[in-house]
Amino acid sequence: MAHRVTLIPGDGIGPELAEATRRVLESSGVDLDWDVQHAGSDVMDEHGGNPLPEHVLDSILANGVALKGPITTPVGTGFRSVNVTLRKTLDLYGQVRPCKSYEGVRSRYDDVDLIIVREATEDLYAGIEFEEGSADALELIEWIGEHGASVRPDSGISIKPISVEGTRRIVDFAFDYARKNGRRKVTAVHKANIMKFSDGLWLHVAREVAEQNGDVEFEDRIVDNLCMQLVQRPEEYDVLVLPNLYGDIVSDLCAGLIGGLGLAPGANFGTRAAVFEPTHGSAPKYAGQNKANPMAMMLSGVLMLRHLEETEAADRLETAIAELIAEGRSVTYDMKPSRDDPTAVGTSEVADAIVEKLSVTV
Ligand code: NAD
């Protein structure tokens, strides 16, 4: 029976990457029935100013699985991130971003194999914000003043909630992931020395969860120290579990270790659905140019096939991508020795080359 999957092409470079990814997934021999849905600024006018229409959420819930391209978020003003709203509304709390070195990638490292597990519903991403000068911000500043602290009156305020429940389930998720995927160690990342009641709680709960998972090694690291150590000795780490904001930043750092954002896939897991999407954003400057690297989205497709228990097809697709990287010919500009290398191919040519490889193995 076909797997029915919601496909959200996204915007910017999203539609080109989604099309390339759809082609290679279909060439893997798995029967996929796409339910194409649109979200983002391009469709908000048709839906009363809502960039994430209800029917998109309904489709993901009905199918339980979605593959999503990046969606642009206006900076500083405008609507809230569709990506964050999607994760919060569907309670997609567990984000998994594998960062793995493939042979032939141009990077300073050749032995990286890390898994980022990022909590995706809490922290400074919760969207609880008070605009500078607003009545609510002024009231909050006054309240804070009455409770022994001081905040400058011309401040904007973002709230950082970290709960026992939210921490317990993501750290549990990280241990579960480690066990199922033969990983040796979970590292909880925090800044508990400074934020004692949010990150302090995170660390305390993580240690409790670790005690119940004694079969997997556990340690913790302060986030700034972790960043330095990842750059010096990434091989020392295995599964990293992080609150939302550190998870976002460290994901891009780790993408840098494995050759860039063009190679960093991701998955968002909740109790009701799973949404697969690359770590990178919509890179608007490359939109419509058949230029961006589709491999991060294709590798997100590989993660989706594994989730659908299409292991053999997932292995074949990942091998085809790995071979293409190792050969170094049919790859996009970002994987060439110099960014203006004339032998770089476009997004759709990468898909062509992978489809050709798969046609031999299917
Ligand atoms: P970005 O990831 O879109 O791009 C940063 C740079 O990385 C690009 O300029 C490009 O040089 C490179 N890059 C990214 N993807 C690439 C690819 N597939 N191939 C080759 N090079 C690639 O980050 P940004 O510029 O900070 O964000 C652009 C928009 O995307 C913003 O609106 C942001 O909010 C949004 N965004 C969305 C998601 C998501 O949909 N999940 C994630 C991150 C950012």
The pLDDT tens digits for 227-273 are 999 999 999 999 999 999 999 999 999 999 999 999 999 999 999 99
Q: Under a CB-based contact definition with an 8 Å cutoff, are residues 279 and 251 in contact?
A: yes
Average pLDDT of the segment spanning 196-212: 98
To 5 degrees, how large is the angle CA 229–CA 202–CA 253?
30
315 is a catalytic site residue: no
196 is a catalytic site residue: no
Q: Under a CB-based contact definition with an 8 Å cutoff, are residues 12 and 289 in contact?
A: no
- The Cα-based distances of 124 to 52, 120, 131, 244 in angstroms read 21, 10, 14, 7
Average pLDDT of the segment spanning 147-172: 98
| pLDDT digits 0-9 by tens, 44-90 | 888 888 899 999 999 999 999 999 999 998 877 677 889 988 998 99
> Which helix H or strand E contains 242, and what residues bound it?
strand 239-242
**pLDDT attached to residue 361:** 65
297 token code pair? 């989205």
Nearest CA to ligand 1 atom 25: 283
Pocket test for ligand 1, best of 71, 79, 96, 261 (most atoms within 8 A of CB): 261
Nearest CA to ligand 1 atom 36: 281
355 token code pair? 């489809």
Residue 157 phi/psi, 5° resolution? -130, 130
Distance 6 CA to ligand 1 centre (A): 22
Nearest CA to ligand 1 atom 38: 281
To 5 degrees, how large is the angle CA 70–CA 73–CA 77?
180
Burial label for 203, CB within 10 Å (0-12, 13-18, 19+), is buried
**pLDDT attached to residue 41:** 85
Q: What is the pLDDT confidence band of residue 289, given thresholds at 50, 70 and 90?
A: very high
Q: Is 83 in the pocket of ligand 1 (CB under 6 A)?
A: yes
Q: Is 251 in the pocket of ligand 1 (CB under 6 A)?
A: no
Share of the chain above pLDDT 90, in %: 89
To 5 degrees, how large is the angle CA 103–CA 107–CA 113?
60
Q: Is 14 in the pocket of ligand 1 (CB under 6 A)?
A: no
125 is a catalytic site residue: yes
Query: Which ligand 1 atom is the nearest neighbour of the CA of 285?
Result: 9
Average pLDDT of the segment spanning 339-361: 94
Average pLDDT of the segment spanning 174-198: 97
**pLDDT attached to residue 253:** 97
Q: Is 350 in the pocket of ligand 1 (CB under 6 A)?
A: no
